[in-house]
Amino acid sequence: MRLHTLSRSFVHSIAAVLLLLVALPGPFARAQGDQSRNAAAWYQRAFAELERFTPEEMELIEQYRSGGATAPSPEVRALINRAAPIIDNALRASAQGYSDFGLDYSQGFDLLLPHLGKMRSIARLMQADSMMRLGDGDGAGAAERIAAMYRLADHTGDDHILISSLVSRAVFEVADTSAQMGFDHGAFDPATAMVLLRSTQSFDQRDPFQMLESIMMEQTLAVNMIRDHFMGDDPQKRSAILEGLAREGGLDDEFAALSRESLETELDRYSALMNRYAEIWAGDDPEVVRSQIKQLEEELERGAHGLMAQLLMPALGRAYDLGLQSRERLHDRIELLEGITQGQVDVQTLTNAAVWYRRGIERLGDLDESWIEAMKSFDPRGEASSIVIEQLTHAGAAAQEAIDLFVQGSNMRRCDFSVGRNALESFIPTYGDGMRDAFILLSLEAVRRAALEDEAGASAMLAAAFRMAGHLADDRLLVSSLVTRDGFLLASTTAAAIDRRRRFDEPSRQALAAAIRRNGTSDPFGFVEAAMATRENIVKSIVQWGEPKEREAREARLGAWLKTLDADELLYVQAMLDVINFDLTPREPFNRADAVRLREFLLAETMDLAAIDAPAFAELLRAGRGDEFAIPETAQIIGAAARMAGARRDQWATIAWAQEREGGEAESGAAGDK
C-alpha cells in the first residue's frame, strides 16, 4: 500500500500517541486474565526455545523442508527431534481460541512486529517435522502438526495489520502444501482428514486472513494520526508535516494549499471511499467486484476522491485478488476434506505416483554393480547372456525394491511431479535422470524375466514402463517429454524383441495394449502441453523486468514472441534464464549431477553459448525488449523440435503393434524398429 512508502525519518517526525486506539474494543482490549488461554503466551515460550538454534542449523532444516519429500539426513533428523519443545508449545498455542501479542497500536506506523518472523520459522519447523513423520509412516502425527499450522495461520491474522495478514497467508500456504504432501503419500484416512477439517473451519470463510479488516485498520491508524496531529495548535508542526506529506506523495502544491477545514473534508472523503471499498469487497460475484474496483481505481487516478485518497489508498485490485485466491483455496481444501470425511472421496485416488517414483529413484543408488553395468550396456534388441541373467538374479534384492516402487507408482491414477519441485527444476528436473534409469531398469527386468520363461512377468514390467510414460508425459516440462519419448520407445523396442523370440500369451498382450493406451494420442509424450507451459513459465519469469507501468503490454509482447519459438529455442531461453535468475556459472544448468545422462538433449556447447548470451538477454529484459533477442541457430542442435515433430509417428508404430497383439494376430510387428 502506498502509505508504507512514507520514509522512515518522516514517520518518526510525526509518530505520536494514538490514545483513541488503545481504548478500541475487540481484540485490542483483551482482558489481562488467565494468559494460558492466550495463544501468544505459548508462542512466546516457543520463541524462547527457538533462540537455541543457530542460523546454520535453521538453514539445514530449511534445505530439507524445501527439497521435496525426501528422508532427512541423520543430522537433520536430530535437529528436528531437538525442536520438540518448540513444536509442543506451538501445538498448545494452536489449541487456544485467540492470540493477542499485546501490540501497542499507539505507536502507529512505528509499530514493530518481531513475532511475525518467528511465527513463520515455527511453521517451517513444524512442516519439517510433519515431513519426517510422513516418511516414517506416522500419518496421524503429521496431520496433528499440519492442523496446528492451519490454526497458527489463523492466529497470525489476529493482529489486524496488513503485513500480519500476508504472513498469515504465507503460513497457510506452508500448511496447505504439507497437507497435500500427506495426501500424495497416501498417509491420511477419514479420521485424520477430520482433524484437518476442524482446523480449516476455524478461518473466517469470507476473509480467511483478515485482509480487508487489516486494510481498514491501517487506514484508521492513518486517519487518526493525521487528524490528531494536523489539527493541533502548532502551526509550524502542521506546516512541516504537510510539507513532508507533499514531498512523499508528489503533491506539493495541492497539500500546501490545504486549510484545516479542507483537510478535514479530505479525510471525510477518504473515509467514505474506504467504506465504499469495503461494501464492494463483500460482493458475491468476483467479476462484478473486480469491475467495480477497477472503476474505483480509475476514479482515484483522475483525482475524483481527493488528495488524501490518492496518497493513502492501497492497490485495491491486487489486495482483493490476494484475498479471493486465499478464500478459494481454503474453500477447495474444506470441500475436499468434507468429501473424505463423508465417504464421498476415496483418499486412495489422491495418492501421488510421483512420490513412489522419487522413492524408487532413491533406491537406484543401492543397486549392485552387476545391475549398474547391465543397465549401462543394455541393448533392448539383443538377448542377455545366461551369465548376466544369473548375476542379475543373484543380486536382485536392491533392484527389486526399486522395481516394486516403480510398478506401484505406475498403477496409481494421479501423478504430479510439481509437488515438491523447486524453482531450479523448471529447466532440468532432478528426477529426469532417475526416470530415464527407471525405464531402463524395467526394460532390463522384462528381458531377465523373459529369459527365465516368465512372459507374464516380462509383460508386467513393460506395462509398468508404458504407464509410467503416461504419467511423466503429464509433467509439462520439455525435458520430461524428451525422457518420456525415449522411455516409451525403449519399452516398445524391448517388447517387440521379446515377442519375436517367445511370443506373449493373450493375457500379457492385453495387459500391454491397455498400458500403451494410457498414453494419449492427442499430444504424444506431452510435448505440446510442455511447450505451452514453458512459454507461460518464461513469461512469468521475465515480465518482471522493465517498467512496472508497462507490464501488461510487455507481457502481451513477450507472449507473442515466445509463441514463435520452437522447443529447442524455448529450452535455450530457459537455459539463459537459469543463469540470470540463479546466478549460475557457465554450463551449470547442464553440469548439475542429475543432468549428466541428458547430454543428448542438452548439449554442452549449446549450454555454454546460452550462458555467454545470458547477459545480453538480461540487458534487453531490463529495457523491456526481451523479444528483440535473436536466438542463435545452434539452439536447433538440442534436438527437441525434431523429436516433437516426430512424436506422433513414433507413438503410432507402437500403437499399431499393440493393436495387432491385442487382436492375437500372428505377424510380428516391430514396435521399436519402425
Share of the chain above pLDDT 90, in %: 48
Q: How far apart are CA 121 and CA 124, in angstroms?
A: 5
* Dihedral-angle region of residue 69 (phi above 0 means left; psi in -120 to 50 means alpha; beta otherwise): beta
Highest average pLDDT, of 46-55, 601-610, 641-650, comes from 46-55
- For residue 659, what is its C-alpha cell? 493393436
Question: Quick check: 12 pLDDT over 60?
Answer: no
Q: How far is CA 86 from CA 34, 52, 97, in A?
A: 21, 10, 19
Averaged over 46-65, what is the pLDDT?
A: 93
Averaged over 55-73, what is the pLDDT?
A: 85
Q: How far apart are CA 600 and CA 64, in angstroms?
A: 31
Query: CA-based angle 249:251:254, to the nearest 5?
Result: 140
Which of the residue ranges 95-104, 222-231, 359-368, 603-612 would you say has the lowest mean pLDDT?
222-231
The predicted structure's pLDDT at residue 61: 94
Q: Binning pLDDT at 50, 70 and 90, where does residue 21 land? A: very low
Q: Binning pLDDT at 50, 70 and 90, where does residue 250 land? A: low
DSSP conformational letter for 667:
S
Averaged over 579-604, what is the pLDDT?
A: 65
Strand ranges, E, within 176-322: none
Question: Quick check: 584 pLDDT over 70?
Answer: no
Averaged over 468-478, what is the pLDDT?
A: 96
Q: Read off the pLDDT of residues 117-131 as tens digits, 9 standing for 90 and up.
A: 999 999 999 999 999
Q: How far apart are CA 102 and CA 325, in angstroms?
A: 30
Total Cβ atoms within 10 A of residue 434: 22
pTM value? 0.78
In this structure, the dihedral spanned by the alpha carbons of residues 45, 47, 51 and 57, taken in order and rounded to 10 degrees, is 120
The predicted structure's pLDDT at residue 270: 86
Share of the chain above pLDDT 70, in %: 84
Q: Read off the pLDDT of residues 69-106 as tens digits, 9 standing for 90 and up.
A: 577 899 999 999 999 999 999 999 999 989 999 988 77
Q: Binning pLDDT at 50, 70 and 90, where does residue 224 land? A: confident
Sign of CA dihedral 432, 434, 438, 440: positive
Averaged over 636-643, what is the pLDDT?
A: 86
Closest CA to 451 of 406, 497, 486, 410: 497
Q: Read off the pLDDT of residues 594-626 as tens digits, 9 standing for 90 and up.
A: 566 676 777 777 888 888 898 899 888 888 888
The predicted structure's pLDDT at residue 658: 72
Q: How far apart are CA 609 and CA 332, in angstroms?
A: 45
Q: How far is CA 5 from CA 2, 10, 248, 306, 316, in A?
A: 5, 10, 8, 19, 16
- For residue 465, what is its C-alpha cell? 514402463
Q: How far apart are CA 555 and CA 544, in angstroms?
A: 9
Question: Quick check: 28 pLDDT over 60?
Answer: no
Query: Residues, the chain, total?
Result: 674
Mean pLDDT of the chain: 84
Contacts of 82 (CB under 8 A, 6+ apart): 52, 53
Rg (CA), the chain: 30
- H or E segment at 59? helix 55-65
Q: How far apart are CA 477 and CA 416, in angstroms?
A: 12
The predicted structure's pLDDT at residue 87: 96
Question: Quick check: 566 pLDDT over 90?
Answer: yes
Q: Which residues lie across from 414 on neighbouring strands?
A: 352
Contact present, 601 and 575 (Cβ < 8 Å): no
Q: How far apart are CA 460 and CA 449, in angstroms?
A: 10
Q: Binning pLDDT at 50, 70 and 90, where does residue 139 land? A: very high
Which of the residue ranges 457-466, 481-490, 589-598 would you say has the lowest mean pLDDT?
589-598
Q: Read off the pLDDT of residues 435-449 as tens digits, 9 standing for 90 and up.
A: 999 999 999 999 999
Question: Quick check: 656 pLDDT over 70?
Answer: yes
Which of the residue ranges 36-45, 115-124, 391-400, 542-551 would you say has the lowest mean pLDDT?
542-551
Contacts of 537 (CB under 8 A, 6+ apart): 426
Question: Quick check: 669 pLDDT over 70?
Answer: no
Closest CA to 613 of 588, 641, 579, 584: 579
Q: Read off the pLDDT of residues 519-552 as tens digits, 9 standing for 90 and up.
A: 888 899 999 999 999 999 999 888 877 777 788 8
With 0-12 CB in 10 A as exposed, 13-18 as middle and 19+ as buried, what is 664?
exposed
Q: How far apart are CA 132 and CA 141, in angstroms?
A: 10
In this structure, the dihedral spanned by the alpha carbons of residues 287, 288, 292 and 297, taken in order and rounded to 10 degrees, is 0
Higher pLDDT, 244 or 609: 609
Question: Quick check: 168 pLDDT over 90?
Answer: yes
* Dihedral-angle region of residue 232 (phi above 0 means left; psi in -120 to 50 means alpha; beta otherwise): beta
Q: Which residues lie across from 38 on neighbouring strands?
A: 98
Question: Quick check: 665 pLDDT over 60?
Answer: no
Contact present, 580 and 545 (Cβ < 8 Å): no
The predicted structure's pLDDT at residue 109: 66
Question: Quick check: 27 pLDDT over 70?
Answer: no
The predicted structure's pLDDT at residue 179: 94
The predicted structure's pLDDT at residue 383: 81
Higher pLDDT, 466 or 499: 466
- For residue 635, what is its C-alpha cell? 539452439
Q: Binning pLDDT at 50, 70 and 90, where does residue 368 land? A: very high
Averaged over 222-232, what is the pLDDT?
A: 70
Q: Read off the pLDDT of residues 292-332 as tens digits, 9 standing for 90 and up.
A: 988 988 888 888 888 778 777 777 788 888 888 888 999 99
In this structure, the dihedral spanned by the alpha carbons of residues 630, 631, 634 and 636, taken in order and rounded to 10 degrees, is -140
Averaged over 44-61, what is the pLDDT?
A: 95
Q: How far apart are CA 611 and CA 588, in angstroms?
A: 9
